[in-house]
Every structure is written in structure tokens, then in C-alpha cells.
A = this chain, B = another copy of it.
């Protein structure tokens, strides 16, 4: 075995530097102090015993100016495992200062999937240089992976895997594995393939180990398995892993040949990322990566705010159309933000639930109508409840029955608008294959703002409300 070195554990000596799985602040401060004092040895002594994942965290937690000095202090300890764990932006900045051959050294130590995730982020020029510095086998593997679409199974998969023919016995499999020192370093399943290298079954290692040697592979293997097409989007890959509780799965090319394996540890961060993406997109915060350079973050945030400014101006033009109504009863200006705001909050609830249910495949065309009915019922309850509450409150404060009735009606109407738009907008966007997380908020808040102001001020105008209550 190439790597029986610690890899996935927690180094006992580092325990006192962690608190709730995070590096303690005083520890991070000590490292920064050592770097500030040009004490490379001190910084190295502190950081080197950490688990690679914690060293990567350390790079993220210290200010950007100390990252280069820390890298120099660590020397060889800053290996491929650390770099693979790093945040994309921190890694990119660090790789920028390494030479192509140094990057190639790092890349050649990694499994294909980790190597690809580093190489794919490089500029085309750097990428070419690094690939040229790799040995031909590694180079071919990475180039092939890069030929698959971004965020596809082909980029995620490891090419190192164990495949055996169907006619072997379990004993032959065990002997084969014991004699072959150059196998994939870690694997969880053994694939059974036909002579054309098409997967026909799979065996978990625990089955191999608990089955008598004489039994045939064909009698142990599970014939049904989830085969991942090499160009499948990573979100769909992650979804299958979750749904079928997979630990690893075979990846096949378009003619059905086994070309790689994806393991669940490569999927876990995608599941996390995809769920995070939804919340960040609903809020218009782009990738929401706190290590992203400001020059990338600011345009993304501003672009979203600009679109929302458009919807705010649209809503404000509705108010402008009723200026004379407001002039007659300024209290309308006091109450109108409540109508619009309550609609917005109710719509956000519905929209968020709908977007998550769509993302987790709980909401499909089979139960869309039921979901709309459900949200309509909630909207009716909210509209009546809060409409009556605010109608009574308004009457108590302003003693103006007309105003109170208009407030009640506007809140009830806007609650329905909120509930219906909150569920229908994401459903329609999904149907047209537009990511509902990215675009729903704009449509839905426009609806509730515009309809909130329009229903409240429009009804007030219709009933001719003025500052001398009738």
C-alpha cells in the first residue's frame, strides 16, 4: 500500500488547538505573531503537526499578507493534501506564486479528481505549463478528465478502481488484491465487468471479506447498481448518492464502459454547496464566498441590487400614481409600508419552501397542484388573521372606519398575492428550466410591493378617503 500514513484522522497532538472543530483564536494569533516576527521555525512548529484540513483552515483564517510567509515556513508540509482542502480563492492566490513544476509536483501526488479540481482552476497558459511538467500517464488522465463538461461526473471521478471478471471466485479476488500493491489507494467497492469492460455488478468489500473463498463472484455481486453517465451534472450525481445512500458508484462512458468511480467523500461537499447555493442565490449574494476578492464580489452584489432597484422604482411609480390620494390622507403613507412588507415576508416564506422542495425533488409535477392548494390555504389564514388584526388596530388608533376597512382588504389581497406568487413563480421558472433560486426573489417581491401599494392606495382612492374621517 502506498499510503498507510494518517489521512482521515485527527492528530491527537492538535486537540488543544481546536475548539468545536475550529482552530482556536489564540492559536491562530500565535501563528500570526510568529510570522510577524519573521520566526519561520516557530510558525512551522505550531502549524506542521496539524491535520491537512486544519492547515488549510489556518491559511484561510490568517490575513492574506501572511499566507505567502506561512507557505514558505511550512515548506514540504504544505503538500497536496493541504492544497486540496483549501478554499478555491486562497488556493488560487497561493498557486499563483508557485512555479509550474512546483504545481505539477503537487498535482502528481493527488488522485485524479483532486488533481483535476486544481488544474481546472488555472489560467489556460498555466494549465498548459503544468500539464507539460507532469509525467505522461498523469497528464493523459487529467487531460481526459478536462475533456468532460465542468461540474460533470467526469470531473469528479477517480480513474483508479478495482474491477474483476465475473468468472472469478472470491478467493481469486482476495489473492489478486493481496498481490497487487499498485492498486487504487482506497476503495470501497469492487466492480465486476464483462470482457468489454462494461460493469455488470458490484461487491462491497465487506461482502468479499465475509464470503467463503470458494463462492463465485457472480453469486455474491449485486447486479443492479446505479451507473453514473460520465457527463451527468454533479447536482444529479449528488442527488443519486443521497437518494440511494451510495458510498461509491461506477461511472460509465456513452457506450457503457466502466471509466471511473465516484466516492461519497467527493460528493459531501457538493451536497453542502448546492444547498448553500440556494440560500445565497435567493439573497442575490452570488457564490457568497468570504475569501473571494472584492473586485469579484462587488459587481455580483451590485448587479443584483440594480435589478432590485428597478423593481423598487416600479413599486414607487405605483405610489407616485396615487400622490394626490396620499396628499388627501398622509396616514396612507404611514400604513402602506406595512401592507407591502407583510406581503413580502409571507411571500419569502412560501418561496423559500418551494425552492427547497424543488431542489430536493420533493416537489414534482405530480404534487404541484396540491402544493399550490396548501399555500393558498396558508395565505387565506394569514390574510384574514393579519387583515382583521390590523383593521382593528387601525380603527383603535385612527377611528377611521373607511381606512380600517381598506387596510383590512389590502392586507387580505396582498396575502393571497404573496402566497400564490411565492409558490407559482418558482414552479413556472423551474418548468422553463430557469433556476428558481436565482430569479424568484425579484419577481415575487415585485408582485408583493406593487400589489401591496396598488391595492391599498387604489382602494383608498376608490373610496375617496380623506383626512377628515366620514
Residues of chain A whose beta carbon lies under 8 Å from any beta carbon of chain B: 1, 4-12, 20-23, 25, 28-29, 51, 53, 57, 60-63, 87, 174, 177-178, 180-181, 183-188, 202, 204-213, 220, 222-226, 236, 239-247, 263-265, 267-269, 271-272, 275-276, 278-280, 282-285, 288, 290-291, 294, 297-298, 301-302, 304-306, 308-309, 312-313, 315-316, 319-320, 323, 326-327, 330-338, 340-342, 345-346, 348-353, 356-357, 360-367, 370-371, 374, 377-378, 381-382, 385-386, 389-390, 449, 453
A385 to chain B, nearest CB (A): 6
- At the interface, is chain A mostly helix, strand, loop or mixed? helix
Q: List 26 A-B contacts (CB under 8 A).
A: A4-B222, A8-B245, A9-B202, A9-B223, A20-B236, A21-B236, A21-B243, A22-B364, A28-B364, A174-B209, A180-B210, A181-B210, A205-B206, A241-B268, A245-B265, A276-B360, A279-B356, A283-B353, A288-B357, A290-B367, A294-B377, A304-B345, A305-B345, A333-B333, A336-B337, A337-B453
A310 to chain B, nearest CB (A): 11
B308 touches A342 (CB 8 A): yes
B6 touches A224 (CB 8 A): yes
A220 touches B4 (CB 8 A): yes
B61 touches A290 (CB 8 A): no
Copies of this chain held together in the complex: 2
B323 touches A334 (CB 8 A): yes
Q: If the complex has contacts A224-B9, A319-B337, are A25 and B366 also in contact, measured as CB distance less than 8 A?
A: yes
A186 to B247, CA, bound (A): 11
A337 touches B366 (CB 8 A): no
A301 to chain B, nearest CB (A): 5
B345 touches A308 (CB 8 A): yes
Q: If the complex has contacts A1-B207, A297-B378, A378-B297, are A225 and B9 also in contact, measured as CB distance less than 8 A?
A: yes
Nearest neighbor of A359 in chain B, beta-carbon distance: B276
A309 touches B188 (CB 8 A): no
A223 to chain B, nearest CB (A): 8
Measured between beta carbons, the chain B residues less than 8 angstroms from A297 are 378
Q: If the complex has contacts A301-B378, A360-B272, are A285 and B341 also in contact, measured as CB distance less than 8 A?
A: no
A16 to chain B, nearest CB (A): 15
A315 touches B337 (CB 8 A): yes
Residue A305 contacts which of B174, B241, B312, B342 (CB distance < 8 angstroms)?
A: B342
Residue A341 contacts which of B247, B308, B351 (CB distance < 8 angstroms)?
A: B308
Residue A8 contacts which of B208, B244, B284 (CB distance < 8 angstroms)?
A: B244
Measured between beta carbons, the chain B residues less than 8 angstroms from A291 are 362
A305 to B315, CA, bound (A): 22
A225 to B223, CA, bound (A): 34
B268 touches A211 (CB 8 A): no
B341 touches A386 (CB 8 A): no
Residue A290 contacts which of B313, B326, B353 (CB distance < 8 angstroms)?
A: B353
Q: If the complex has contacts A225-B10, A308-B341, are A285 and B352 also in contact, measured as CB distance less than 8 A?
A: yes
B188 touches A246 (CB 8 A): no
B320 touches A334 (CB 8 A): yes
Q: If the complex has contacts A210-B181, A338-B312, A342-B308, are A9 and B226 also in contact, measured as CB distance less than 8 A?
A: yes
Q: If the complex has contacts A4-B220, A366-B61, A385-B302, are A188 and B247 also in contact, measured as CB distance less than 8 A?
A: yes
Q: If the complex has contacts A268-B241, A361-B22, are A280 and B356 also in contact, measured as CB distance less than 8 A?
A: yes
Measured between beta carbons, the chain B residues less than 8 angstroms from A381 are 298, 302
Measured between beta carbons, the chain B residues less than 8 angstroms from A242 are 268-269, 272
A385 to B242, CA, bound (A): 44
A362 touches B87 (CB 8 A): yes
Measured between beta carbons, the chain B residues less than 8 angstroms from A327 are 327, 330
A240 to B312, CA, bound (A): 43
A212 to B7, CA, bound (A): 21
A313 to B263, CA, bound (A): 52
A323 touches B330 (CB 8 A): yes
A20 to B373, CA, bound (A): 25
Residue A209 contacts which of B22, B209, B386 (CB distance < 8 angstroms)?
A: B209
B268 touches A11 (CB 8 A): no
A365 to B4, CA, bound (A): 35
A348 to chain B, nearest CB (A): 5
